[in-house]
Amino acid sequence: MAFKFPSDEWVKEFASQLNASEAYAKSAEDWEGDFIFISEPDKVSSETRYLFVGLNHGKCTDAAEVASENEREAAFVIRAPYSNWRKVIEGKLDPIQGMMTRKLKLKGDMTKILRYPKAAKELVNCVSRVPTDFGD
């Protein structure tokens, strides 16, 4: 079964993958900071969607689609067009490189993210394990 991106079901499966990953737990054991991921309209998608991911000491404490970026408090907000999120999920765009080149726009402390490169890599590894339906 594939999960439609972006959706509540997709982000919950991402949380399951994170919580099943020993590599993520180890690499993020000192991490504290929640995220809101914003998928913005582009040629492929016509709507803005918001996904909340609560991360604390190597575990995903909560994951849900939310109505706006202000619905939940988060230390980090990353926004990008739908097509750039698809590239991240498919492993074609490294998220750190994406932030450096402004393909992903970060609101939050970039230096904190840069201190945890292994955790960022493991997040992407977990994302790639979510069976994703892009609707095409």
- Please check whether residue 113 lies inside any domain of the structure: yes
Q: How many domains does the chain have?
A: 1
Average pLDDT over the chain reads: 95
What is the model's pLDDT at position 45? 84
Residue-wise pLDDT tens digits, 72-102: 999 999 999 999 999 999 999 999 999 999 9
- Please check whether residue 110 lies inside any domain of the structure: yes
H/E stretch holding 95:
helix 95-100
- Please check whether residue 35 lies inside any domain of the structure: yes
Neighbours of 8 (CB within 10 A): 16
Asked if residues 104 and 94 have their Cβ atoms less than 8 Å apart, the reply is no
H/E stretch holding 128:
helix 117-128
Instruction: Using pLDDT thresholds of 50, 70 and 90, give the confidence band for residue 44.
Output: confident
Tell me: pLDDT of 46 over 90. no
- Please check whether residue 103 lies inside any domain of the structure: yes
Question: How do strand 105-107 and strand 76-81 relate by DSSP bridges?
Answer: antiparallel
- Please check whether residue 12 lies inside any domain of the structure: yes
Range of the domain at 40: 3-126
Helix axes 8-20, 117-128, angle to 10 degrees: 120
Which CATH number covers residue 88?
3.30.1050.10
The dihedral through the CA atoms of 71, 132, 76, 99 has a sign that is negative
- Please check whether residue 60 lies inside any domain of the structure: yes
- Please check whether residue 62 lies inside any domain of the structure: yes
Share of the chain above pLDDT 90, in %: 93
- Please check whether residue 136 lies inside any domain of the structure: no
Tell me: pLDDT of 136 over 80. no
- Let me know how long the chain is: 136
The model carries a pTM of 0.95
What is the model's pLDDT at position 132? 97
